[in-house]
Structure 1
């Protein structure tokens, strides 16, 4: 083989080696990019997973904490001896956002009380003015709130409470009619002989409205639903995320 042929052969080998090295480097870069992409996707997926977990509703446990209706109309759900942290729930049975909160975080609130992790205090109130939809929404709210006061406590109160939100009427139509309220109470397990008369005569309506006015003024509420943890208002972004709400309550107990 002549010198020229040997030189050409050497150049070809060098060219081939360079091409092979470039191919290896390209594959390495592609592998790095692929790994980064997988990690990025995983990070995004983890973010979505965390958000989904934070928003996922719990299932209500088999047993509820004892439920007692106080003289002022507030309702305490707590195990014996549990007096803190205190989670106050201000709600209106005609309020759509309150229904959304109940559907999302209601089970968590019940579970925290049943687990002895919190003393839960419900405050059913009416926030609507008379002129709202010609008084329709206010009338609905008052009838429901007054009827809930006709139940002395226990699991029937909680079942009736949940039923009211399940059957919440539109804000533009009359709902929570007396016959329905009585039937729902019976379905909830109410056996008090005075329940029918109490609901039919709206015996507790005046007390309900007086308590609503007092709560709105003393608690300086701007609307419902409002959760307060040891007297401090819970951010909406926490209240509507069961996992974050649970953690906030657990942190408050430390």
Structure 2
């Protein structure tokens, strides 16, 4: 006659089965939690690494382009017209050692430093250059003045969303960084000649590069910027956007810039009438002590 488990034995068996099921479930949940926490940890580490990289990139000094100091390029008398010279002022990391000083270039003793802040999207800057560009080049060529230009970007909102002010100023930086800054006056002249209207979409990269090439720039020349190989790459990658932004903010915050064109003579704002070519030229010559 078969022995049947007693009620007590059945209860003990049921308890043991329930304990085993609970233990298996707990082990499964622990494994899932371990995998989940490990995944979260990996994500957190990745996020921290990305954030850390972005913070480091945003906080590290922006390396200036060659031949520029605080966003400025300078020109003075040379053997064959005007030539690029060392801009006045100082900037950490700036490398202008390959350029002569204005005095070594041929600028007269006491030649006034005439600085023009401009935005390539600015209609007033176009009018200024059309009126006085030739005068400035002539006075720089004969040693009467040292001519400085600082492209800034304060009118990005007026270029149909493609940040033309920043991108055109960036191209000037790229050209300077390739050692071809002596070509910038011709590049600037053509940029203003083809200036997009306010509110219209700014020129695309290939249009900008075409203007540079028409002025004699070798767009396949290498640049010093570590993130770009050539002028073309530098333009398409907008490699100096942070530099343009930084130098523009410095001009607004520290140099008294309120709008463009803004002209200073030996660091002091020009208060005369630049729309009158003869008057403006006479004021520059007077500032250089030649009258």
TM-score w.r.t. length of structure 2: 0.59
Flag the structure with higher helix content.
1
Flag structure 1 segments of 5+ consecutive residues without an equivalent: 1-67
Shift of 1:84: 2.9
Corresponding residue for residue 91 of structure 1: 118
Higher alpha-carbon deviation: 173-182 or 69-78: 69-78
Between the two proteins, the alignment pairs up a number of residues equal to: 183
1:18 equivalent in structure 2:
none
Partner of 2:216: 189
Cross-structure match for 1:247:
282
Deviations 1:186-235 (A, max 9, x none): 11111224111111111111111111110111111221101111122112
CA–CA separation in structure 2 for the residues paired with 1:157 and 1:241: 25
Match of 1:108 in 2: 135
Cα distance in 1, alignment partners of residues 70 and 268 from structure 2: 21
Quote the residue 1:120 is aligned against. Answer: 147
More displaced stretch, 116-125 vs 157-166: 157-166
Residue of 243, 246, 269 corresponding to 1:210: 246
1:5-63, Cα deviation, whole Å (9 max, x unpaired): xxxxxxxxxxxxxxxxxxxxxxxxxxxxxxxxxxxxxxxxxxxxxxxxxxxxxxxxxxx
What is the CA-CA distance between 1:72 and the residue it aligns to? 3.1
CA separation of 1:73 and 1:236: change in aligned 2, threshold 3 A: same
CA distance in 2, matches of 1:242, 1:137: 35
Query: Which has more radius of gyration?
Result: 2
5+ residue gaps, structure 2, are: 1-65, 78-101, 223-229
> Does 2:169 match 1:145?
yes
1:156–1:189 CA contact under 8 A, matched in 2: yes
What is aligned with 2:75? 77
From the superposition, tell whether residues 163 and 137 of structure 1 become closer, same or farther in structure 2 (CA, over 3 Å): farther
TM-score normalised by the chain length of structure 1? 0.67
